[in-house]
Amino acid sequence: MDFSHQNLAIQSAWMSANWDHYAAEPSYFSNRLPISLAAGSIHATTWHPEYESIFPSSTRDFLIHNRTVEGLVDAIELYLNTTSPEDRIASSARAQNYAYAHYRQDDQLVRMINFRTKRIEPAVFSEWQLEMEPIDEL
């Protein structure tokens, strides 16, 4: 599937899911996780060591993870059977807000420059009117 069409495909279902190749790698997640959350999707994926320190308990209503494929399938089934469409829509909105707060790419340079010392005020940076061409046009 063309990368630019992923958003629509993800939004066509109640939930997106993937199983990673690197289940033993601490803190790892593929770009599928932030892409799905940014699309406003509940996401199910492989559990990784240190996830509890990366993803706060507030993410549990839109981020499902498990240590085994069978466990993840069961967790997805349980989630779909115990939530209403209204619950899922609200969780999807929270997922999108979480992605916006934590996985934006437009502020990565500011975060890197401010790593040890605040040199650029993030609020001022967000007000800059940066004109960029869409990737498809580059």
CA 14 to centroid of chain Cα atoms: 15
Domains of the chain: 3-104 (3.40.50.2000)
pLDDT digits (tens, 9 = 90+) for 84-131: 999 999 999 999 999 988 887 777 777 778 777 877 776 665 555 556
Instruction: Kindly tell me if the per-residue pLDDT of 137 is higher than 70.
Output: no
Average pLDDT of 14-20?
93
Residues 126, 114: Cα–Cα separation, whole Å: 14
Going through the chain in order, the beta strands assigned E by DSSP cover: 15-17, 42-46, 63-66
Confidence of residue 48 (pLDDT cuts 50, 70, 90): very high
**Predicted pLDDT at 77:** 97
Confidence of residue 82 (pLDDT cuts 50, 70, 90): very high
